[in-house]
Structure 1
Amino acid sequence: MKLPNILKSPSLLQKLHWVSDPVSYMENAAQQYPDIFTGEIIGFGDTVVFVNHPQAIQEILTNDRKKFIAVGELNGILKPLLGDYSVLTLEGDRHKRQRQIVTPSFHGERMQGYGQLICNSAKKIFGQLPLNKPFFARDLTKEISLQVIFQSIFGFYEGEKIQKIRQLLPLLLELFESPLSSSLFLFPFLQQDLGAWSPWGRFLRVREKIDQFLYNEIAECRQQADPKRTDILSLLIACRDEAGEPMTDQELHDQLITLILAGYDTTATVMAWGLYWIHHNPLVREKLLQELDTLGDSPDPMSIYRLPYLTAVCNETLRIHPVTMFSFPRVVQEHTELLGHSLEPGTILIPSIYLTHHRQDLYPQSKQFNPERFIERQFSPYEFLPFGGGVRRCMGEALALFEIKLVLATVVSHYNLALVERRPEQPQRRGFNLAPGTGIKMVMTGERARQEPLINMTTTSVS
């Protein structure tokens, strides 16, 4: 099979490079072949074709279920974590059925109901910080994200029964905190239960306890059906597919763990990156505060959500450090051409979000944080795609953006923070995503009083 722009490095070296530092792996390859290249990596079949040209990405994503199919089996490495019925591991009609059931749970009206909860959570968690004592921003944003995800899924985030899973989830995600430990999911031969102190054995025991909690919640919710409840679990239990069939307990469990893990760590990571860039660039913080101060002392969450400069700051955060490095892999179904290269059936394609977001023809000086990009120009869904695209686009995108905007606005407008380290924060692989390498060390220097706006907002580029 002839493949486009095959990297010359030995297969083993490529795989080790991909596992240890996927960002430099992709950047080095893109220097040789800017639009499309073939590499050998771990996780989605040995040989894959990376694509980052917007035209090619558009062709791939608009031909889902035709020339290029998203095959859930390629995400088989996630099954030990998410189960057999997760919307991320299913394909074809089974995937379509689960997505149709789950998607309505994220409608805008329900999302807006969480606005005050998000703002209050941010105030409570950051308001408890001692002055001038270092903390890691990602730890705090993870706590906020956890509260929001529990409230939206179960309808509560406080109380005795929630404490157990609040303790268990961080233990489960410990496996993702370094490239080495997260490699357990990339190398199945390492998945050996050698007792509670072995990495995989510890993962299995924590997962079992989380499973027990979820199945107990499903059973209780079924028994105490309340049509007035609007939490996601209640909505999923009440939903029926086109044949009138409800979801089984296992299907519910797998969707719940998917929603928890997909909405918890990823959203927290974006918020932490946002705090980093806002405080790394004083002019960005100044302009953002000018905009926020126009809303008064008690702004409505939806008014915050609609602010244009805040939106630009969030978009630029998602661009420069997309949490997810690539969109869902696709498999070529019939002989076709892409960017002048012939592709045979069975070829695995990976639309690279990270490389697309750092194309110099789209985003000049792409390593610089410049929110004005999103004020001066509107990018297509194939040029800016932090939540993926096509039939596999992230279902929780609306809630995630809502939460990110409200948390950043609340923290920045109420508290004076400062970075401890002035050295640039570098992204590092955390499982299947990218996160700040150090967690972003900051200090609280005091509370901030709102300033009356003195001048109109102007557009100024920030380097």
Structure 2
Amino acid sequence: MQLPNPLKTPSFLQKLQWVIDPVSYMENAAQQYPDIFTGRIVGFGDTVVFVNHPQAIQEILSNDRKKFVAIGKMNKIGEPLVGEYSVALLEGNRHKQQRQLVMPAFHGERMLANGQLICDLCTKVFNQLPLNQHFLARNLTQEITLQVLLQVILGLNEGEKLQKFKHLLPQMLDLFRSPFSSSLLFFSFLQKDLGAWSSWGKFLCDRQQIDKLIYAEINERREQNDSDRIDILSMLISARDEAGQPMTNQELRDQLMTLMVAGYETTVTAMAWGLYWIHQKPLVREKLLQELDTLGDSPDPMSIYRLPYLTAVCNESLRIHPVVMFSFPRVVQEPVELLGHPLEPGTVTLPSIYLTHQREDLYPQPKEFQPERFLKRQFSPYEFLPFGGGVRRCIGEALALFQMKLVLATVLSHYQLALVDQRTERPQRRGFTLAPSNGVKMVITGRRVRQESLVNMTTTPVF
């Protein structure tokens, strides 16, 4: 059967471009075939049908577990990072059960309890920066995010164990910081352990050290059996399946790694993009400051979270540069028709978040950063889907948005920042995400003090 709009480029070249420059790969293909096309890539099988028309995405996501099914082995490319029992690789009832166990930690009172922690961590990190000295915004959002996640997931807020995790996790993930080093994840023939001096050997060594820390924490927590703890590890240890059996140590380890790796890379990058665009567009920054000033000197986290223009700025940042390029791939289960194209069982479909967010018919002038578009219109979950959709929608979405809003609000309210390089920051592959190619180089020029008068900016050193 003829698949829809197959790309003519030789298979090997497609796969290479998908790894090295996925943005150009998708944009060039969409110029030929705006709504749906078939590509030859690595990671989800050899042949994949890319979909970016909202109607087709709705058809796929609204028929989750029926006509289209997310099969765990489609994510097997991530197994070296998260393990075979990761919720990302599980299927059916097992996947559903694991999601239900973890979700409460990312919602409601447990999430809100982290609000002041996020604001305090942000202030602490930025206060350590000297005045007029260049820094990478992504490095600072990394520091904040890692500490938040380690407290939420492992219950660590200080001490030697926290410091070890803060050192080892970024060290391991930084191996995949460029498109070329990310190729290690996509081409299995490169995954050769040639000792600690080789890239894959270094990764395995770092992963082993992290595993040692995680397993030690699991064993210690099992012995303590503290029912008052509310971190995710404690919740998972006390959880039981339908047969009354607890999770094994390896199952626990794989879920913890999934939450840390996925939550860390995505949130860090999303906040860095937010800082970039706010300071790239002075009018956006001024409008945002005016809104923040209406809350007074010590706003509570929920008041910040509900601000409409701040929400629009975050949404537009996630639209123009979605950190994750696509939703979880779905496999066709029965003969279906998508946008007039017949698809047979076994066909892999990939809802493209990036291409959907770049559609001119949904977002006029899609390359322009315009938060107002989210104030003028309510987009459907098939038109705006930075966290994916359906039964595989990102489990940490609520915490990620909460943290993004609080960090951006705290930084803008207390510090004057400027971009060091006015050239456009380009998205490039970083593992499975799209990150700013230069890390967003910035400088603190002073401290900001909210004032009721027209002149509300003062410049004093930050130490």
CA offset at residue 153 of structure 1? 1.1
Partner-residue secondary structure (3-state), 1:9: coil
CA offset at residue 231 of structure 1? 1.1
Q: Which residue of 1 aligns with 2:412?
A: 412
Equivalent residues of 2:147, 2:166 under 8 A apart: no
Measured in 1, the distance between the counterparts of 2:84 and 2:18 equals 26
Measured in 2, the distance between the counterparts of 1:287 and 1:154 equals 38
Measured in 1, the distance between the counterparts of 2:244 and 2:365 equals 53
Equivalent residues of 2:265, 2:433 under 8 A apart: no
Equivalent residues of 1:14, 1:41 under 8 A apart: yes
CA offset at residue 104 of structure 1? 2.1
Measured in 1, the distance between the counterparts of 2:19 and 2:247 equals 36
CA offset at residue 397 of structure 1? 0.5
Partner-residue secondary structure (3-state), 1:384: coil
Q: Which residue of 1 aligns with 2:156?
A: 156
- For residues 66-113 of structure 1, give each alpha carbon's deviation from its aligned partner in whole angstroms, at most 9, with x where no partner exists: 111101101111111110110111112221222122222222210000
Measured in 2, the distance between the counterparts of 1:244 and 1:400 equals 32
- Give yes or no for the alignment of 1:430 onto 2:437: no
Q: Which residue of 1 aligns with 2:395?
A: 395
Q: Which residue of 2 aligns with 1:43?
A: 43
Partner-residue secondary structure (3-state), 2:76: helix
- Give yes or no for the alignment of 1:104 onto 2:94: no
Measured in 2, the distance between the counterparts of 1:308 and 1:247 equals 42
CA offset at residue 241 of structure 1? 2.9
CA offset at residue 132 of structure 1? 0.8
CA offset at residue 244 of structure 1? 3.0
CA offset at residue 452 of structure 1? 2.2
Q: Which residue of 2 aligns with 1:186?
A: 186
Give the 3 Å change call, closer, same or farther, for CA 229–49 of structure 1 in structure 2.
same
Partner-residue secondary structure (3-state), 1:310: helix
Equivalent residues of 2:276, 2:440 under 8 A apart: yes
Q: Which residue of 2 aligns with 1:458?
A: none
CA offset at residue 453 of structure 1? 7.5
Amino acid at match of 1:173: L
Structure 1 unaligned residues grouped into runs of 5+:
455-463
CA offset at residue 398 of structure 1? 0.5
Measured in 1, the distance between the counterparts of 2:353 and 2:50 equals 10
Equivalent residues of 1:297, 1:450 under 8 A apart: yes
Identity rate, percent: 73
Equivalent residues of 1:336, 1:342 under 8 A apart: yes
Q: Which residue of 1 aligns with 2:130?
A: 130
Measured in 2, the distance between the counterparts of 1:416 and 1:6 equals 50
- Give yes or no for the alignment of 1:205 onto 2:208: no
- For residues 185-236 of structure 1, give each alpha carbon's deviation from its aligned partner in whole angstroms, at most 9, with x where no partner exists: 1011111111111111111111011001001111111111222111111111
Equivalent residues of 1:85, 1:250 under 8 A apart: yes
Q: Which residue of 2 aligns with 1:350?
A: 350
Equivalent residues of 1:196, 1:205 under 8 A apart: yes
Q: Which residue of 1 aligns with 2:306?
A: 306
Q: Which residue of 1 aligns with 2:166?
A: 166
Q: Which residue of 2 aligns with 1:215?
A: 215
Query: Which deviates the most, 6-15 or 135-144?
Result: 6-15
- List structure 1 segments (4+ residues) > 4 angstroms apart after TM superposition: none
Superposed counterparts of 1:18-417, under 5 Å: 18-417=18-417
Partner-residue secondary structure (3-state), 1:37: strand
Partner-residue secondary structure (3-state), 2:417: strand
Tell me the number of residue pairs that the alignment of Structure 1 and Structure 2 aligns: 455
Partner-residue secondary structure (3-state), 1:213: helix
Query: Which deviates the most, 230-239 or 404-413?
Result: 230-239
Partner-residue secondary structure (3-state), 1:450: coil
Measured in 2, the distance between the counterparts of 1:178 and 1:106 equals 30
Q: Which residue of 1 aligns with 2:457?
A: none
Measured in 1, the distance between the counterparts of 2:290 and 2:174 equals 39
Equivalent residues of 1:145, 1:265 under 8 A apart: no
Measured in 1, the distance between the counterparts of 2:238 and 2:294 equals 42
Amino acid at match of 2:353: I
Amino acid at match of 1:276: Y
Partner-residue secondary structure (3-state), 1:435: strand
TM-score, with length taken from structure 2: 0.97
CA offset at residue 246 of structure 1? 2.1
Amino acid at match of 1:198: S
CA offset at residue 115 of structure 1? 0.4
Partner-residue secondary structure (3-state), 1:15: helix
CA offset at residue 154 of structure 1? 1.7
Measured in 1, the distance between the counterparts of 2:240 and 2:289 equals 46
TM-score, with length taken from structure 1: 0.97
CA offset at residue 15 of structure 1? 1.2
Measured in 2, the distance between the counterparts of 1:370 and 1:453 equals 28
Measured in 1, the distance between the counterparts of 2:271 and 2:205 equals 30
Measured in 2, the distance between the counterparts of 1:240 and 1:118 equals 31
- For residues 264-293 of structure 1, give each alpha carbon's deviation from its aligned partner in whole angstroms, at most 9, with x where no partner exists: 121010000000000000000001000001
Structure 2 unaligned residues grouped into runs of 5+:
455-463
Equivalent residues of 2:19, 2:182 under 8 A apart: no
Partner-residue secondary structure (3-state), 1:158: coil
Equivalent residues of 2:7, 2:38 under 8 A apart: yes
Give the 3 Å change call, closer, same or farther, for CA 222–375 of structure 1 in structure 2.
same
Measured in 2, the distance between the counterparts of 1:183 and 1:89 equals 20
Amino acid at match of 1:110: R
Amino acid at match of 2:145: S
Partner-residue secondary structure (3-state), 1:387: coil
- For residues 12-60 of structure 1, give each alpha carbon's deviation from its aligned partner in whole angstroms, at most 9, with x where no partner exists: 1111111110001000000000000001111111110000000110110
Equivalent residues of 2:312, 2:374 under 8 A apart: yes
Measured in 2, the distance between the counterparts of 1:440 and 1:176 equals 18
CA RMSD of aligned residues (A): 1.2
Amino acid at match of 2:277: W
Equivalent residues of 1:294, 1:452 under 8 A apart: no
Equivalent residues of 1:315, 1:371 under 8 A apart: yes
CA offset at residue 123 of structure 1? 0.4
